[in-house]
Structure 1
Amino acid sequence: MPKNMGSMPEQWGAFRYNETTKKFEFVASKKVQINGVWNVIISSYSNSAYLVADHAVNFTDVQKHWSQSFVQLAAAKGLVEGVGDGKYNPNKAVTRAEFTAMLVRALGRGIPTGSVTPYEDVQPGAWYFDVVVQAKELGLLGFASDKRFMPDQPLTREEMASMLAAVITLEKLPITKEFINLNGYKDIGNVDAAFLENVRLMIKLKIMTGTGADTFDPKGATTRAQAAVVFIRLLQVAGWID
């Protein structure tokens, strides 16, 4: 960064220029000061043109919301986008397709290697086709059935835990052997057995928390606010962003 910069902006982001879409998109980055000069270290799977920018984002409907700091940081870094008119709609449910698109964007792995539809209800031409194909290739969609993805169905919190745990496995991130007891959540028995260890891992890594002091709400729909929070926490745990 310029030598005369005394500090980095509170809301800054690094962006990769996508030659296909002609847009800048999120790229993982961290700031570090070397010999008194601020530097930005970018982690990318492609050789691209990059931009580092002061990118403050404020939404009128999150000013007093519990997720405000996470939503604004996620938006500043290009992980999430508003819904228009200066709003984010934090309490709106996120569909399976929408969360998959955001997660694939966060991973920055590039384009999928194949083009064969992985599910009968995910067809070429759908806005989410490429991201679902890529997520399937990366092993992130273990919760979905063999034939149907149901892209417009709200993603449940236990399904979100499954996808995030798959990222931990994909990136081979270190995990401690510490055992976390989930009995403090009175509704933990409602978690599908297939997702229980994923939920435990997310709580252990502090990527996900309960929706209340003693509830996890595994069958509840993931909200846009919750999505922004877990993306920031996941990338911080991975060491990809500050």
Structure 2
Amino acid sequence: MPSDRAHTDRCCRTGGFVLKADHNGTFGIITQQRSFTDTDGTWAQDAIEGLSGRLVVDGYPDGSFRPEVPVSRSEFAAMLARALGWVPDSSASVQYTDVDPAAWDAGYIASMSERGLLSGYEDGTFKPQGLTNRAETVTLISKLLQLTGLAGS
């Protein structure tokens, strides 16, 4: 199981965060100003632009974000992995029969599965294009809170 010895603390009101690590090293913070053609005036505009600026979410090549489009299981896995600063593990073995090892999401799915955060279905599939449901979302967020030590906060 991969180790994650660095994690971010809760975001503060100014949009910053604190990085805690149990090892020495050089750390960089990457942000970008980002806006989309279809988020102006929406209730989620600030959240979308904030997460996009932190490279957690991305839009489409035409400059849109499509905020009303449901999120697939693979997109949700990628967002959570990026939020934690995890990079896709292209060397990891994808254990699901319906995940193409060369697909954009394969490394994220493999990384999250190796950490015990994602699981597939009894038939050996992951259903990456399936939509996330509330139970799956809550379960995954709960596991992430446990992993990062924020569960009791």
Task: Give the TM-score of the pair, scaled to structure 2.
Answer: 0.74
The residue that corresponds to 1:108 in the other structure is 85
Find the partner of 1:145 among 114, 117, 121: 121
Structure having the higher Rg: 1
The residue that corresponds to 1:65 in the other structure is 42
Change in Cα spacing, 1:105 to 1:69, as seen in structure 2 (3 Å) is: same
**Matched AA of 1:145:** Y
Q: Which runs of 5+ in 1 are unaligned?
A: 1-26, 32-38, 177-242
Structure ranking higher on relative contact order (CA contacts 8 Å, 6+ apart): 1
CA contact (8 A) 2:30 2:54 kept: no
**Matched AA of 2:152:** I
Task: Give the TM-score of the pair, scaled to structure 1.
Answer: 0.49
Q: Which runs of 5+ in 2 are unaligned?
A: 1-6
Return the offset for 1:158.
Answer: 2.4
Alignment: residue pair count: 141
Matched, 1:87 2:87: no
Distance in 1 (CA, whole Å) between partners of 2:87 and 2:25 is 11
Change in Cα spacing, 1:174 to 1:96, as seen in structure 2 (3 Å) is: closer
Distance in 2 (CA, whole Å) between partners of 1:114 and 1:141 is 17
Q: Quick check: which one's strand share is greater? A: 1
The residue that corresponds to 1:238 in the other structure is none
Matched, 1:166 2:143: yes
Identity %: 26
Please report the RMSD computed on the Cα atoms of aligned residues, expressed in angstroms.
3.1
Provide the secondary structure at the position in 2 that maps to 1:50. Answer: coil
Change in Cα spacing, 1:77 to 1:117, as seen in structure 2 (3 Å) is: closer
User: Post-superposition, which runs of at least 4 consecutive aligned residues in structure 1 deviate over 3 A?
Assistant: 27-31, 39-49, 109-114
Change in Cα spacing, 1:115 to 1:76, as seen in structure 2 (3 Å) is: closer
Return the offset for 1:65.
Answer: 1.1
The residue that corresponds to 2:96 in the other structure is 119
